[in-house]
Amino acid sequence: MKIGIIGTGLMGRTLGVRWAGDGHDVLFGSRDVTKARDAASKAGAAARSGSTDDAAAFGDVVLYTVRGIYPSQLLHAPQALAGKVVIDCNNTDFDMERGEPLPPAVPSLAEQLARDVPAARVVQAFTTLPFVVLELSREQLAPRGISVFLCGDDAAAKQTVGRLAEQLGFVSVDSGPLRHASMIAAIADVIRYQIARGRGYFTTLSLATMEQP
């Protein structure tokens, strides 16, 4: 699969490197082409680098990691995202010193992204996972059954993102339409609260159903 990464922060770099390692064609795009080139160098010889517009045009799936700046502001050609699966992995701020979330985004960040690019197939995913967990190998992750919660209005797009998550060693959990994104954001805040209380950045959530007694 061709995957464009818009933004080369911790999430973009980590997921891009992992997907490249799984054999996907990955192009890292950044406003700073040097940063994109550096990220691609860590992903192996097959990974490429370029601008944010290059990443938008390249990917069948596009990971959008630039929080607070939307495609209409960032891209020269935001229409390049039309019809594509666009993954939003962004969270609102959290005060780690006080262990408190800042006021939630209303509508959610994922819904705001979808409103900015209405022709894209936006899926919220990976918001409950610290990047250090995403760095772990499939062999380390798979036995733990760690959940990746997916919200989106396009069933096929959610299935695509779910497969990408499962290839990494996670368990995808369909969490309904995009309007549920704020509910998943609250789960991310619970995890970050536990991290702030000292549990550490490997804190995760594995959704399980007990067998009926």
Q: Would you state the pLDDT for residue 29? A: 98
Q: Would you state the pLDDT for residue 159? A: 98
Domain range for 84 is 2-199
Q: Would you state the pLDDT for residue 33? A: 93
Residue 213 is assigned to a structural domain of this protein:
no
- Rounded Cα distance between 130 and 127, Å, is 8
Q: What is the count of structural domains for the chain?
A: 1
- The burial class, CB within 10 Å (0-12 / 13-18 / 19+), for 202 is exposed
Residue 112 is assigned to a structural domain of this protein:
yes
Residues of the chain with pLDDT under 50: none
- The burial class, CB within 10 Å (0-12 / 13-18 / 19+), for 106 is exposed
Residue 156 is assigned to a structural domain of this protein:
yes
Q: Would you state the pLDDT for residue 105? A: 80
Is the model's pTM score more than 0.75?
A: yes
Q: Would you state the pLDDT for residue 181? A: 97
Residue 25 is assigned to a structural domain of this protein:
yes
Residue 209 is assigned to a structural domain of this protein:
no
CB 43, CB 28: distance < 8 Å: yes
CATH code of the domain covering residue 145: 3.40.50.720
- Rounded Cα distance between 45 and 87, Å, is 24
What are phi and psi for residue 138, nearest 5 degrees? -60, -40
Q: Would you state the pLDDT for residue 141? A: 98
Q: Would you state the pLDDT for residue 198? A: 94
Residue 59 is assigned to a structural domain of this protein:
yes
Q: Would you state the pLDDT for residue 102? A: 72
DSSP characters over 75-112: -S-GGGGTTSEEEE-----EETTTTEEPPPPSS-HHHH
Pairing assessment for the beta strands 147-152 and 94-95 based on DSSP bridges = unpaired
What are phi and psi for residue 126, nearest 5 degrees? 70, 10
Residue 159 is assigned to a structural domain of this protein:
yes
